[in-house]
A = this chain, B = another copy of it.
Amino acid sequence: MLEQTAANRPTLEAVAARAGVSRATASRVVNGGAGVRQPLVDKVRAAVDELGYVPNHAARSLVTRRHGAVAVVIAEPEFRVFSDPFFAQQLRGISRELTSNDIQLVLLWVENESDHERIARYLAGGHVDGAIAFSLHGDGRLPALITGSKVPTVLGGRPGAEASPALPYVDCDNRGGAREAVRHLVSLGRRTIAHIAGPSDQTSALDRIAGYHDVLVDPDPELLREGHFTEESGARAMAELLDRRPDVDGVFVASDLMALGALRVLHERGRRVPRDVAVVGFDDMETVVRASDPALTTVRQDVEGLGRLSVKLLLKLLNRPAGHVPASVIMPTTLIRRASA
């Protein structure tokens, strides 16, 4: 492309004339091409290339969105993606926000480690304008591969140390929410407060553990059990807790789904909730909370809102000059008091 000054820059009018379309059509194509027939889109894009048209700042965003598609990568296997309502809710927010911008969502998930390179190849292959990756695990190679693919990416959830610090992210205040949950159990007079945590290779789990430790200095390590954010792992952790510390009278569980499993085991073992053991969850997933008996006290995070926010952040990233990374966003959490604590 020739060096150009502002004075001799080709205009959108020139592009329209070269392509043989109206200025409005040329503008729509430069703005993403929505509603324009493919042959016209091709003609306008060819004219843009031939003339070396550089859109002004306001229009530049559109050129960066040439594929009209964004990849959403969930670093979890299919059985988790389609059984944990957390993912559906996050995808609902992402899907709605992308659709309202006429951008196609393409979903990819990770069945096992051997998928990582193929996903990175797809991302690097020029099929999408950007990516949103969530539920990353610290021990995987995916964060590095995503960074290496050079596709503008926003993370759902604070990245671990191994991910590039240049990737912006959206997250909820995991640590603050956990603190509030544990403080609530303390305020109820509970003395032996356990924590059923998520997997220790995820920052959301680590941050909730940190919040637990912020309130309870030096608790018995037996009171901290690790699950995998599944109902079954919550049940298993609760059973272990009751075996090792039968005097437990409060449990902060790092997800509603795990709390459901914990409540089931407490019921089976004849412990009354909240009288014998008070239980606080995390997430406030409607479908899960509806199934809980008694109604679950939990830390609410706006999962759909986080999904929407991740898209907004990605669009900012795509529309900023190279090297300018928008600031990450942390959403607040709220304790929702119901019957279980």
Contact = CB atoms under 8 A, between A and B. Distances in A.
Given A88-B83, A124-B38, A118 B95 contact: no
A161 B115 CA distance: 38
A197 interface: no
Q: What's the dominant secondary structure at chain A's contact region?
A: mixed
A215 to B, nearest CB: 35
Contact of A104 (B68, B79, B105, B122): B122
Interface stretch (A106-114, A164-172, A179-187, A277-285): A106-114
Contacts of A67: 122, 125, 127
A49 interface: no
A121 interface: yes
A: interface residue count bin? 35 or more
A237 interface: no
27 contacts: A34-B118, A38-B121, A67-B125, A67-B127, A68-B121, A68-B122, A68-B125, A69-B122, A71-B106, A78-B91, A78-B92, A79-B92, A82-B82, A82-B85, A82-B87, A83-B88, A95-B111, A96-B111, A99-B111, A99-B114, A104-B108, A104-B115, A104-B118, A104-B122, A106-B108, A107-B107, A127-B127
Interface of A: 33-35, 38, 67-69, 71, 78-79, 82-83, 85, 87-88, 91-92, 95-96, 99, 102-109, 111, 114-115, 117-119, 121-122, 124-125, 127-128
